[in-house]
């Protein structure tokens, strides 16, 4: 009796897990599968059609606007994430060693994390107009987008770096000072090396957020037509979506997957060598 | 050649006060440390010893006062310019560097004297240079050898045991050749066996290197074993400075006696020079210079009490053995005499339940001035039969008129502590508890910065929040005359 019941429960557990995972991965799977199809429309009368790399070929040879958008996305993503990582790390360190008002500053910096993107987007939109009105040479476009993305993603870097700081030995910075290093030197040779892990996570998170962002980008890309992947996809939906986007999406997914695997392998290896030494 | 100084002070702390958010951690402290000594700052947690060390290292600045190193005022000098190095409580090694690089960290920044440069006008300026790679390697290896970690240079910090990390921390500090080595409870995280080993090794290093060590600990045994000079701290001020033997044999007050070693602390009356009375017995002692019938504290160490069979007439006090525990080389016994529970250590066991006589040699008794014999406050009559002081209105029997300024005297046994703060007239925190055999002497600290001494039969824990009630029959008022209050 009991064994049938537990068997049933086991079946149910697996079924549930498979359904949940399927729901999560179905859209991605669909896009990957159809990136190898020659059909312009998914689910058309011809079904899958023929297996071909035509879309990949098209992406790199015959989709100049999509390639342009990709390039812009990468430039904005990498530079804003670099800026956010730098500012976010310094801010975390400053916050950590702040005596008074720590909670208040933390709270203020975290509000933007939960704040709706549309508010920030409109805010930046109006700010650019305001700054232009008072005579500052601000122009919506690539530079402005980098600034906006850096501002949006900095709090996320703070969130990934701060926990590492709190794990540090509280005397580490003082040990640097004690051994003759000035405040700046202690910061960069003693504290920052401990934060690399958090900084890498923060950078990755900031980059992904920038890559994903549509609301802020769309409102602040300006009239000179700086398109990113998201705004490009949105704009072409009205006409017909370039099918090469399937190939691009697949490539992005694979890159992220590979990066994740490498990250985990390196981490495990480090852990294992450490344990080996202890033994 | 320079004249050798009579007292070569390497560190001087002058009138230093440190407050954190209105809490005074160090209170107008003065201390001189002689070159080459092993000095221990000893006290219970929260006494300010670590704060004092951190001020010498330069991590926190004094609120008031000055700190001198070799006669130079370093009060405003940042830590990276001071000729001292610190071994931190939890080592604070750099986890991203291996053992060798940890030790080399300070050397890479160090600049050494490299002869003088004489310019055309004959002006001499000293030249400094950085150490080269070979010099650094040689110094690091020497330091690692000193702490017994010769072949550990390439090892990862995280792969070392606590004791080994401790050694790396010591090597990292010593390799910079500081004039003073500061150690902030460095053995606190080690197990007992490791602690003992490190104590011996640190002492050995101190002898070999000849530099000054300032060592912070709350472990009195550690302090007595290792130091040349012990500085006993409590509540941000120095209670006593002395050699381990002085601090143990001649504690300056009841706090030191209680904190250092096992002891029997009693209240007594000095009848005349060389004679003290306690628990109804008149006993010879070696102390003099107290007032006639002055109330004093006295301390008798457990090993200074000798036991004799009852009826032998050799003892000054008789008591009943409550318990006896064998401690390896001696027996420790609890003996009840005139309602005081003595702790006695002797190589001869007295069975529990037997009556014994106890005697103390004059040299075994140490007399200390009482810190205070009565609680004294200034206040004002604020109504019929009530007096205002310490931010509270206390009931009292008086015919004085409202507005009269008075001095209020409350004996220790006239104060009652209550569990619930609201049951008392005012609230206070328990800051010190001393067992006096038949009762506890508790010190509480009010929100108005006043101390109450309380004799009570109840045991209170440090940090307890209590209420204070006063026994109006035991209170005494004294009118303050105008001239007196003006002065």
Q: How confident is the model at residue B66 (pLDDT cuts 50, 70, 90)?
A: very high
Distance from CA of B151 to the nearest CA of A (A): 14
Pairing of strands B317-326, B281-284: unpaired
Question: Mean pLDDT, chain B, as a whole number?
Answer: 85
Check if B66 contacts A (Cβ < 8 Å).
no
Residue showing tokens 């500012």: A87
Q: What is the mean pLDDT of residues A23-51?
A: 82
Q: Is the torsion defined by CA of A128, A129, A133, A134 positive or negative?
A: negative
Nearest CA in chain B to A173: B92
- Pick from A154, A146, A144: which is nearest to A87 by CA? A154
Are A278 and B106 within 8 A, CB to CB? no
Q: Give the Cα-Cα-Cα angle B300, B306, B310 (nearest 5 degrees).
A: 125
Mean per-residue pLDDT, A200-222: 89
Give bridge partners of residue B416 from the DSSP assignment: B469
CA atoms of B349 and B436, how far apart (whole Å):
24
**Structure tokens, A25:** 């991965």
Judged by CB atoms closer than 8 Å, whether chains meet at B176 and A193 is answered as no
Query: Which residues in chain A touch residue B88, judged by CB atoms under 8 angstroms apart?
Result: 169, 171, 174-175
- In the three-class reduction of DSSP (H, G, I as helix; E, B as strand; rest coil), residue B135 is classed as helix
Of the ranges A5-9, A130-134, A222-226, which one carries the lowest mean pLDDT score? A222-226
d(CA B418, CA B120): 81
Nearest residue, CB atoms, B106 vs list A180, A182, A183:
A180
CB B186 within 8 A of CB B169: yes
Bridge-based pairing of strands B180-184 and B84-87 is: parallel
Yes or no: say if B256 and B240 are a contact pair by the CB < 8 Å rule: yes
**In a mutagenesis test of the A interface, which of B22, B53, B80, B84 is the best target, namely the one with the most A β-carbons within 10 Å?**
B80
Taking an 8 Å cut-off on Cβ atoms, the answer to whether A178 and B57 are in contact is yes
Q: For B381-396, how does the pLDDT look when each residue is reduced to its tens digit (9 = 90+)?
A: 888 888 888 888 888 8
Residue with tokens 């002692």: B285
Of B197, B206, B254, B255, which is closest to residue B227 (Cα–Cα)? B206
* B89/A171 Cβ within 8 A: yes
CB contact under 8 A, B92 and A172: yes
- Whether chain A has a CB inside 8 Å of the CB on B159: the answer is yes
pLDDT digits (tens, 9 = 90+) for B142-177: 888 888 888 888 888 888 888 889 899 999 999 988
Q: Which of B19, B58, B88 should one mutate to test binding to chain A, selecting the residue with the greatest count of A CBs within 10 A?
A: B88
User: What is chain B's length?
Assistant: 487
Q: What is the three-class DSSP state of B455? A: strand
DSSP 8-state symbol, B297? E
Residues of B in contact with A194 (CB under 8 A): 95-96
Report CB contact under 8 Å: B80, A194.
no
> B285, B367 in Cβ contact below 8 A?
yes
pLDDT in tens, A6-17: 888 999 999 999
Optimal mutation site among A170, A178, A198, A270, interface B, most CBs of chain B within 10 A:
A178
Burial B354-375 (b: 16+ CB within 10 A, else e): eebbbbbeeebbbbbeeeeeeb
At residue B339, the pLDDT reads: 78
ipTM above 0.90, yes or no: no
pLDDT at B98 > cutoff 50: yes
Contact between residue B338 and residue B317 where contact means Cβ atoms under 8 Å apart: yes
C-alpha to C-alpha distances, B185 to B82, B108, B127, B217, nearest whole angstrom? 21, 27, 38, 5
Instruction: Kindly state the tokens that stand for A267.
Output: 């981490």
- Whether A279 has a pLDDT exceeding 50, the answer reads no
For the four alpha carbons of B215, B220, B226 and B228, in that order, the dihedral sign comes to: positive
Both tokens of A27, joined, read 């859209």
Q: Residues 145-174, chain A: which have Cβ within 8 Å of B?
A: 169, 171-172, 174
- Give the pLDDT confidence score for residue B484 in this predicted structure: 47
Residue B1: its pLDDT value, please?
44
Chain A interface disruption, residue of B50, B92, B153, most A CBs within 10 A: B92
Show the 3-state SS of B17-56: EEEECCEEEEEEEEEEEECCCEEEEECCCCCCHHHHHHHH
Question: E strand or H helix at B201, and its extent?
Answer: helix B192-209
The reply to whether residue B173 touches residue A169, judged by beta carbons under 8 angstroms, is no
Domain ranges of chain B: 9-249, 263-369, 375-486
- Between B481 and B245, name the one with better pLDDT: B245
**Domains defined along chain A, listed by start:** 69-241 (1.10.3720.10)
Chain B partners of A174 at a C-beta cutoff of 8 Å? 57, 59, 79, 86, 88, 92
Q: Does B92 touch chain A (CB under 8 A)?
A: yes
CATH fold for the domain made of B9-249: Rossmann fold (3.40.50)
Do domains B263-369 and B375-486 share one topology? The answer is yes
Q: How far apart are CA A203 and CA A5, in angstroms?
A: 48
User: Sign of torsion, CA B456 B459 B465 B466?
Assistant: negative
Helices (H) and strands (E) in chain A, counts: 12, 0
Alpha-carbon gap: B353 to the closest alpha carbon of chain A (Å): 54
Q: Is A104 exposed, middle or buried (0-12, 13-18, 19+ CB in 10 A)?
A: exposed
Compute the average pLDDT of residues B211-223: 90
pLDDT at position B485: 46
**What's the pLDDT band for B465 if we cut at 50, 70, 90?**
confident
**Spatial separation of the C-alpha atoms in residues A251 and A248, rounded to whole Å:** 5
What's the rounded Cα separation, in Å, for the pair B345 and B331? Answer: 6
Contacts of B51 in chain A (CB under 8 A): none
Average pLDDT over every residue of A267-275: 72
Q: Do B92 and A194 touch (CB under 8 A)?
A: no
- Given CB atoms, is B424 within the 8 Å cutoff of chain A? no
CB of B91 within 8 Å of any CB in chain A?
Answer: yes
Residue B306 phi, psi (nearest 5): -105, 140
Contact B41, B52 (CB under 8 A): yes
Q: Which residues of B touch A274 (CB under 8 A)?
A: 156, 158-159
Smallest Cβ–Cβ distance between A179 and the set B58, B78, B109 belongs to: B109
pLDDT of amino acid B429: 86
Q: Which residue has the tokens 């506890």?
A: B440
Topology, domain B263-369: OB fold (Dihydrolipoamide Acetyltransferase, E2P) (2.40.50)
Interface probe with B: pick from A99, A179, A197, A272, most Cβ of B within 10 Å: A179
Rounded to whole angstroms, how far apart are CA atoms B250 and B252? 6
* A184–chain B Cβ distance below 8 A for any pair: no
pLDDT at A249 exceeding the cut of 50: yes
Measure CB to CB from residue A190 to each of B88, B94, B156 and give the nearest one: B94
> Mean pLDDT across the stretch B35-51?
90
3-class secondary-structure state, position B90: coil
B375-486, superfamily in CATH? Nucleic acid-binding proteins (2.40.50.140)
**Per the structure block, which two tokens stand in for A205?**
């998170």
């Amino acid at each position: 009796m009991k064994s049938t019941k537990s068997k049933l429960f086991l079946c149910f557990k697996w079924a549930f897990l498979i359904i949940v995972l399927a729901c999560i991965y179905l859209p991605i799977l669909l896009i990957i599968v159809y990136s190898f199809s020659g059909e312009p429309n998914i689910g058309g009368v011809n079904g899958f059609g023929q297996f071909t790399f035509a879309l990949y070929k098209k992406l790199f040879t015959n989709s100049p606007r999509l390639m342009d958008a990709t390039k812009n996305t990468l430039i904005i993503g990498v530079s804003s994430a670099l800026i956010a990582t730098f500012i976010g790390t310094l801010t975390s360190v400053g916050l950590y060693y702040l005596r008074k008002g720590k909670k208040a500053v933390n709270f203020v910096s975290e509000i933007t994390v939960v704040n709706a993107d549309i508010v920030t987007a409109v805010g930046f939109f109006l700010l650019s107009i305001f700054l232009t009105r008072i005579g500052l040479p601000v122009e919506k476009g690539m530079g402005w987008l980098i600034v906006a993305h850096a501002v949006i993603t900095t709090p996320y870097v703070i969130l990934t770096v701060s926990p590492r700081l709190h794990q540090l030995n509280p005397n580490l910075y003082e040990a640097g000072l004690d051994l003759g290093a000035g405040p700046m030197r202690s910061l960069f040779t003693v504290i920052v090396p401990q934060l690399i892990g958090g900084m890498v996570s923060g950078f990755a998170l900031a980059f992904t957020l920038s890559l994903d962002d549509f609301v802020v980008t769309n409102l602040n890309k300006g009239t000179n037509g700086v398109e990113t992947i998201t705004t490009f996809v949105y704009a072409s939906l009205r006409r017909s979506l370039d099918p090469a986007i399937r190939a691009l999406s697949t490539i992005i997914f694979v890159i992220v997957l590979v990066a994740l695997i490498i990250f985990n392998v390196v981490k495990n290896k480090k852990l294992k060598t450490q344990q080996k030494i202890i033994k | 050649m320079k004249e050798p100084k009579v007292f070569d002070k390497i560190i001087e702390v002058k009138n230093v006060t440190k407050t954190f958010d209105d809490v005074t951690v160090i209170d107008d402290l003065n201390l001189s440390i002689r070159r080459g000594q092993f000095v221990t700052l000893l006290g219970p947690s929260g006494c300010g010893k670590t704060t004092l060390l951190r001020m010498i290292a330069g991590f926190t600045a004094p609120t008031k006062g000055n700190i001198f190193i070799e006669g130079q005022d370093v009060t405003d000098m940042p830590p990276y310019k001071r000729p001292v190095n610190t071994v931190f409580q939890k080592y604070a090694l750099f986890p991203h560097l291996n053992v060798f690089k940890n030790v080399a960290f300070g050397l890479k920044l160090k600049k050494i004297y490299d002869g003088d440069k004489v310019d055309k006008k004959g002006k001499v300026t000293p030249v400094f240079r950085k150490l080269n790679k070979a010099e650094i390697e040689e110094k690091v290896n020497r330091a690692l050898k000193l702490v017994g970690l010769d072949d550990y240079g390439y090892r990862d910090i995280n792969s070392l045991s606590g004791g080994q990390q401790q050694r790396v921390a010591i090597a990292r500090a010593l390799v910079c050749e500081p004039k003073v080595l500061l150690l902030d409870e460095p053995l606190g995280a080690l197990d007992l066996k490791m602690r003992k080993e490190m104590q011996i090794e640190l002492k050995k290093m101190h002898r070999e290197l000849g530099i000054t060590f300032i060592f912070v600990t709350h472990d009195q045994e550690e302090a007595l074993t290792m130091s040349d000079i012990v500085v006993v701290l409590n509540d941000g001020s120095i209670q006593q400075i002395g050699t381990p033997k002085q601090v143990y044999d001649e504690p300056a007050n009841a706090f030191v006696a209680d904190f250092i070693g096992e002891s029997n602390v009693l209240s007594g009356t000095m009848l005349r020079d060389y004679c003290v009375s306690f628990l109804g017995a008149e006993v010879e002692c070696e102390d003099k210079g107290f007032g006639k019938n002055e109330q004093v504290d006295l301390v008798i160490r457990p090993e200074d009490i000798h036991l004799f069979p009852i009826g032998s007439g050799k003892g000054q006090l008789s008591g009943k053995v409550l318990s006896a525990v064998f401690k390896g080389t001696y027996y420790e016994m609890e003996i009840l005499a005139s309602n005081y529970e003595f702790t006695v250590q002797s190589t001869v066991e007295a069975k529990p339940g037997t009556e014994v006589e106890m005697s103390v040699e004059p040299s075994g008794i140490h007399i200390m001035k009482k810190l205070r014999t009565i609680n004294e406050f200034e206040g004002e009559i604020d109504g019929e039969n009530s007096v205002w002081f310490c931010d509270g209105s206390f009931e009292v029997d008086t015919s004085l008129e409202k507005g009269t300024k008075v001095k209020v005297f409350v004996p220790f046994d006239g104060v009652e502590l209550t569990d619930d703060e609201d049951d008392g007239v005012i609230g206070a925190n328990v800051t010190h508890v001393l067992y006096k055999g038949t009762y506890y002497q508790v010190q509480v600290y009010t929100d108005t910065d006043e101390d109450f001494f309380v004799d009570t039969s109840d045991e209170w824990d440090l940090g307890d929040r209590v209420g204070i009630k006063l026994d109006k029959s035991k209170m005494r008022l004294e009118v303050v005359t105008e001239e007196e209050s003006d002065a």
